[in-house]
């Protein structure tokens, strides 16, 4: 059972940011449970957690980061997508920068990792905040210009991607589910 | 939240409208009419039919013209959305984008610049399941344009139903089954939100096989 966390303030946004992830999880042969960002969640009950993205103008989830701090004690795997990337970054003590990025951009992998190919790939971005640097608790895995497009939490299988892999890089979600 | 729906009168914008209606308040429809069928961003609706659809829905329509080129299309989109904000106080935009990152990223950018929310409820939908949902939810849809092999002009005026969905599914290696790339276009004559349905009174097929349009000269609203 995979836990999929919605960061969407409006249910209509879930059609865009959560449903495509659920379809990937289902296609990979897993069952899932969906919880909203404002709900109490027992992460420990699930082997993997995916925290989805949301609409560009939707920043309400940033008011609920406290409830995600328990992830530090969590032993499973986490994939944070866009809003989920931002939540993970904050939980591990990093500061977001204002970076407006909308559309397809080229991403450069700078560290070998189990989720992406080596070299470069194209990805779809839709955000107004991202990391430009990481502290010692995160390691940068891929860059898009001066933005950290992908990171890993040191010592954990927690990954953050600032882009939307469900659009052009579904294999990232599929490989995460295989970890 | 009150939203507007980018509306071409075809199956995708109508399904997006239905999904928006179920979860938000729809303040108006917004239609941009390109100069020709070569538009980068917008489908080529018959504006008089969109006006009838707006009447059938009981939802006001803001329609405006748009040049075909990208820069002109975007300027027209900014202009018409500003009008929707002023007249109907909309705070968000709903689109029928399915898979085109080109189209979606431009809509997202325009909305962001204008301070509007952007909703794409059909985003990344499997095209066949989307077509089946349209049929299952009682839409009456006809094909109004075919624009490439292997879609023949005999498809014009034909209903979208289980049989035509099956036909499009069998052709999925040749074309995008949803027609998002302009392979075909549709007109919705009826759907659950319509208070009346459209009836075509006079129409004509123009063009050649694999590149033809159903020109609807006259239509009316009738009771359901």
Tell me which residues of chain B have a pLDDT lower than 70: 36-45
Tell me how far apart the alpha carbons of residues A47 and B105 are, in angstroms, rounded to a whole number.
34
Which CATH number is A110's domain given?
3.40.50.880
Domain count, chain A: 1
- Taking an 8 Å cut-off on Cβ atoms, the answer to whether A10 and B116 are in contact is no
Residue B20's beta-bridge partner residues? none
Residue B186's beta-bridge partner residues? B143
pLDDT at B70: 84
CATH topology classification for B127-223:
putative n-type atp pyrophosphatase, domain 2 (3.90.1490)
Domain that holds residue A144: 2-178
Domain ranges of chain B: 2-119, 127-223
Q: Is A65 exposed, middle or buried (0-12, 13-18, 19+ CB in 10 A)?
A: middle
SS3 (DSSP) at A95:
coil
Residue B119's beta-bridge partner residues? B94
- Residue count of chain B, please give it: 224
pLDDT at A171: 97
Interface test with A, best of B16, B20, B117, B127 (most A CBs within 10 A): B117
Q: Inform me whether the pLDDT recorded for A96 exceeds 90.
A: yes
CA-nearest of A172, A86, A156, A92 to A124 is A172
- Taking an 8 Å cut-off on Cβ atoms, the answer to whether A15 and B122 are in contact is yes
B206 CA: distance to closest CA in chain A (Å): 37
Neighbours of A121 (CB within 10 A): 18
pLDDT at B36: 66
Q: Inform me whether the pLDDT recorded for A71 exceeds 80.
A: yes
A16 CA: distance to closest CA in chain B (Å): 5
The interface predicted TM-score (ipTM) is 0.95
pLDDT, tens digit, for every residue of A119-171? 999 999 999 999 999 999 999 999 999 999 999 999 999 999 999 999 999 99
A124 shares contact with chain B (CB less than 8 Å):
yes
Which CATH number is associated with domain B2-119?
Answer: 3.40.50.620
Question: pTM score, two decimals?
Answer: 0.94
What Rg do the C-alpha atoms of chain A give, in angstroms?
14
pLDDT, tens digit, for every residue of B177-223? 988 888 899 999 999 999 999 999 999 999 998 999 999 999 999 99
SS3 (DSSP) at A162:
coil
Tell me how far apart the alpha carbons of residues A103 and B101 are, in angstroms, rounded to a whole number.
7
pLDDT at B71: 87
Q: A179: which 2 tokens? A: 């970890």
pLDDT at A25: 98
Residues of B near A (CB-CB distance < 8 A)? Answer: 1, 19-20, 23-24, 94, 101, 105, 108-109, 111-112, 115-124, 126
Averaged over A3-23, what is the pLDDT? Answer: 98
**Contact by Cβ (8 Å): A91, A65:** yes
Q: Secondary structure of chain B in the HEC alphabet?
A: CEEEEECCCCHHHHHHHHHHHHHCEEEEEEEEEECCCCCCCCCCCCHHHHHHHHHHHCCCEEEEEECCCHHHHHHHHHHHHHHHHHHHCCCEEECCCCCCHHHHHHHHHHHHHHCCEEECCCCCCCHHHHHHHHHHCCCEEEEEEEECCCCCHHHCCCECCHHHHHHHHHCCCCCCCCCCCCCEEEEEEECCCCCEEEEEEEEEEEEECCEEEEEEEEEEEEEC
B120 CA: distance to closest CA in chain A (Å): 6
B182 CA: distance to closest CA in chain A (Å): 20
């Amino acid at each position: 059972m995979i836990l999929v966390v919605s960061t969407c303030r409006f249910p209509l946004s879930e059609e865009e940011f959560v449903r495509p992830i659920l379809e990937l999880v289902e296609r990979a042969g897993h069952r899932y449970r969906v919880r909203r960002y404002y709900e109490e969640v027992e992460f420990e009950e699930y082997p993997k957690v995916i925290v989805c993205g949301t609409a560009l103008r939707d920043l309400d989830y940033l008011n609920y980061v406290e409830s995600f701090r328990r992830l530090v004690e969590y032993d499973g795997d986490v994939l944070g997508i866009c809003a989920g990337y931002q939540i993970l970054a904050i939980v591990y003590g990093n500061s977001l920068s204002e970076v407006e990025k909308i559309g397809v951009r080229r991403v450069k992998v700078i560290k070998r990792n189990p989720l992406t190919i080596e070299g470069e790939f194209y990805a779809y971005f839709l955000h107004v905040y991202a990391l430009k640097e990481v502290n010692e608790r995160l390691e940068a895995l891929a860059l898009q210009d001066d933005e950290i497009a992908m990171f890993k939490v040191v010592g954990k299988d927690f990954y953050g991607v600032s882009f939307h892999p469900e659009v052009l890089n579904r294999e990232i979600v599929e490989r995460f589910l295989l970890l | 939240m009150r939203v507007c729906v980018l509306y071409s009168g075809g199956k995708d914008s109508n399904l997006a409208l239905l999904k928006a209606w179920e979860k938000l308040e729809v303040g108006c429809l917004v239609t941009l009419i390109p100069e020709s069928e070569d538009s980068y961003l917008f489908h080529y609706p018959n504006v008089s039919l969109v006006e009838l659809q707006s009447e059938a829905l009981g939802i006001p329509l803001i329609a405006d013209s748009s040049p075909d080129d990208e820069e002109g299309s975007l300027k027209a989109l900014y202009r018409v959305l500003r009008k929707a904000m002023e007249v109907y106080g909309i705070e968000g935009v709903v689109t029928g984008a399915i898979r085109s990152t080109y189209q979606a990223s431009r809509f997202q950018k325009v909305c962001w610049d204008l301070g509007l929310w952007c909703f794409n409820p059909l985003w990344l939908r499997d095209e066949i399941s989307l077509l089946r949902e349209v049929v299952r939810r009682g839409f009456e849809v006809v094909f109004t344009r075919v624009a490439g092999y292997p879609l023949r002009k005999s498809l014009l005026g034909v209903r979208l139903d289980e049989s035509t969905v099956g036909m499009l599914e069998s052709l999925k290696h040749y074309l995008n089954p949803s027609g998002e790339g302009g392979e075909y276009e549709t007109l919705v004559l009826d759907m659950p939100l319509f208070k009346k349905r459209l009836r075509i009174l006079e129409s004509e097929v123009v063009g050649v096989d694999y590149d033809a349009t159903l020109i609807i000269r006259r239509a009316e609203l009738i009771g359901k």
